[in-house]
Amino acid sequence: MANNMQPAYGFPGQPQQAVYSPFRLGHNQNVVPPPIPNIPEEIGHYQEMQRMNTRLGHWRNMPGIVDENAYPNWYLMPIPWHYREAGESPSDFQAQGNHWNMEPLKPSDNAEDLDAAISDDQLPERARRPWHRLQDVKQFFGSGGATPGSNKTWHYKKVLGYGGNGLACHYRVEDGPANGQDVAVKVQIKGWRSSSLKREQEMMRKLTHSKHIIQEVPRDRISKRARKNIPVDWTPFDSSDEYDSSGDEDVPPLPQKVVTRRKDLPLWVIDDKHSRWDRAPPFSAKPSPRDEKNFLVLEFAEHGDLNNFMGKMNMQGGGMPLRIHWNWWLCLVKQCVAMTYYPRKFHPDRFNANGRDLDEIVPDTSISWRKKNMVHFDFDVFNVFMGGLTPGDDHSIIPVLKLADFGLAEEIKPQKRDTYYLAYRRLAKWAYYSPEQFGAEWEFIPADRNGSNICDERVAGNYGSHTNVYCAALVMISIMTGCYPPQPPLRGTMVLDDGTEIVTYGGFLLDDAAWGMFDFELRMILARCLAHYPDQRPSVEELLQNGLANTARANAEMDTDDDVRFWYKDQVLGAPTTPQAQSLQAQSPQAQSSQAQPLQTASLPVYSVDRSVPSNPRVIKKVKST
């Protein structure tokens, strides 16, 4: 009897193998493609395109976190899937989300588990390795960790958190009973030696003195020897070490370097690039010692990350004054500005900083062309931290927000080969992908590892400051709603003041009936920041100007200073956790006089997408309330 089943899996230049799709044939769903050992780089690039197109195609159309085993037929994905020559447009294949579950932010309690455990058999399997690393950290910093001859002592406080690769601990470094400094120590879980921590340290040093970026604590303050040379990959477009100034002296600025489009490079230049890829990267540092211990000592954010803070507010039923929304949005904007205009290079007071942090600014246009293109790639509520109050500045009554964890950050370069941009497509937590990563434009791109198909794309792989802006808007939505962002994204449209209609994933914010509790100007700017096309999002320069003006308006017209102080004392410093205490507090005259607006997460609307007229742009509409 003839076998009519067709092989479902093969790669360019490779014979197809008799592996059959369980989705096509209705076979056992546990059937998965066999691993291919030692696959050539071109085939590996092809597979990665298949895997990510399938994964993020699912992400932008279906809700929930799904393991790759849930779609074992990813290897059937044709590359490219669609063709522009056939008249198809990427807009026809964009996010089709039609429901927002509005999953509330939840505080994590895994850190307390490590501190409470006496032995690893009291912990689940995933927490045992972090627990052993915690014991190593306690031993190193608790005995012999300080520089010989120093009178500084390290006192362990608690675990701040841990993830797949990192462990963070709270320490207090004291120099006598009256002098001390709280710090956060970050180590890798797998061992003391870590190239990723070295790389994160190098990226953080580019942002030295940034007020809204978590800073590395100078080693001389805590009696730890500084590492002078950090071996990192050489980056030809990084000018952080080329200049100590940003060009605002009497010497005229240098002309901006024009990068030749990749597809226009002559053949000999491409051959030269290929030969350089095969060489070992040049290092400016000496070889690492065998007993090297890599760790980061960072400034301590006393109120933790936004996910835990907002999660606790959800549990306590707390609210937030509207004035804080604009102040915190300005913090997020300044974090984006810092990654575009490094204060250590562009701030006019950079030579007179004397250890103090500098507020992020946009420099004069004569030197702004030298702006950087750092993308965080992990910008979410888990990596935005809340500091304390700083008397005498903008955060005297409202806590400052600071961005941390630059382990995935990168200065994106122009005109690189396709594999360069594909490598950054997977770098984000589940709910915080940007259109540059999940957009259907990827499905029109052929698989050519060394090709020039992506470098000139309008959306796919077009990472930049606009990517940070998109993620900052998602974080702000979480602050306003107490929920994770919509996943899949809710695609809609909005009309700008000049009559231009744009595709945005924040159109639902413009529904006054559902979101009228929040300031309209803030909702409008967030909807623009969530535009699908990066060139339609506002620039960091526009956002900073807009944020400063509206924050001043909010401080003058919205909640009073007393309202904000009450909120800080009640919700930040420690709200009661028992229902009885919450009931008593709600009946107090002080609580009744507060004008703080409650989040009321339970009454926020659930959204659907109107597809009654398929030819029209999809319009977000409210369908019910929970």
pLDDT at 537: 97
345 and 205 share a domain? no
180 and 311 share a domain? no
Q: Which two tokens stand for residue 405?
A: 């964890």
pLDDT at 414: 92
Q: Last residue of some domain: 253, 274, 300?
A: 300
What residues have CB less than 8 Å from 356, skipping those under 6 apart?
Answer: 209
92 and 156 share a domain? no
What percent of the chain has pLDDT above 90? 39
Q: Which two tokens stand for residue 595?
A: 């004008």
98 and 117 share a domain? no
Return the ∠ at Cα 9 (arms to 8 and 11), rounded to 5°: 145
Which residues lie across from 384 on neighbouring strands?
A: 403
CA–CA distance, 5 with 14 (Å, rounded to integer)? 19
What is the per-residue pLDDT across 300-310, written as a single tens digit (0 to 9) for each?
Answer: 999 999 999 99
pLDDT at 236: 37
94 and 116 share a domain? no
Is 254 part of any domain?
Answer: no
pTM for the predicted model, two decimal places:
0.79
What is the per-residue pLDDT across 448-471, written as a single tens digit (0 to 9) for each?
Answer: 999 999 999 999 999 999 999 999
Least confident residue range of 10-19, 336-345, 503-512? 10-19
Is 14 part of any domain?
Answer: no
Mean predicted confidence (pLDDT) in 67-82? 78
Is 97 part of any domain?
Answer: yes
Identify residue 266 by its one-letter amino acid code. P
595 and 615 share a domain? yes
The domain containing residue 547 runs over which residues? 80-102+307-576+590-626
Mean predicted confidence (pLDDT) in 519-536? 96
Is 422 part of any domain?
Answer: yes
Residue 156: pLDDT over 60: yes
314 and 428 share a domain? yes
pLDDT at 66: 65
Residue 159: pLDDT over 50: yes
Identify residue 483 by its one-letter amino acid code. C
Nearest to 135 by CA among 146, 120, 123: 120
Confidence of residue 29 (pLDDT cuts 50, 70, 90): very low
pLDDT at 235: 42
348 and 216 share a domain? no
392 and 476 share a domain? yes
What is the per-residue pLDDT across 178-214, written as a single tens digit (0 to 9) for each?
Answer: 678 899 999 998 888 888 888 899 999 999 999 999 9
More confident residue, 317 or 284: 317
Is 96 part of any domain?
Answer: yes
Q: How far is the CA of 121 from the CAs of 17, 126, 159, in angstroms? A: 45, 11, 18
The domain that contains 126 carries what CATH number?
Answer: 3.30.200.20
In this structure, the dihedral spanned by the alpha carbons of residues 304, 306, 309 and 310, taken in order and rounded to 10 degrees, is: 180
User: Tokens 């931290």 belong to which residue?
Assistant: 385
Least confident residue range of 115-129, 145-159, 180-194, 383-397? 145-159
Residue 318: pLDDT over 70: yes
Is 116 part of any domain?
Answer: yes
Residue 437: pLDDT over 90: yes
96 and 165 share a domain? no
Helix (H) or strand (E) holding 526: helix 520-529
Q: Last residue of some domain: 300, 322, 341?
A: 300
Is 171 part of any domain?
Answer: yes
Q: Last residue of some domain: 300, 316, 331?
A: 300
Please, what is the average pLDDT of the chain? 77
The domain that contains 411 carries what CATH number?
Answer: 1.10.510.10
**Residue 373 near residue 505 (C-beta atoms within 8 A):** no
Confidence of residue 60 (pLDDT cuts 50, 70, 90): confident
More confident residue, 277 or 467: 467
pLDDT at 171: 92
Is 28 part of any domain?
Answer: no
Across 214-260, where does the E strand assignment appear?
none
Confidence of residue 392 (pLDDT cuts 50, 70, 90): confident
361 and 484 share a domain? yes
Number of folded domains in the chain? 2
204 and 124 share a domain? yes
Mean predicted confidence (pLDDT) in 326-333? 97
More confident residue, 357 or 527: 527
Q: Which of 159-173, 222-236, 433-447 has the highest mean pLDDT?
A: 433-447
Mean predicted confidence (pLDDT) in 166-187? 86
Least confident residue range of 8-12, 408-412, 474-478? 8-12
Residue 305: phi, psi to the nearest 5?
A: -85, 165
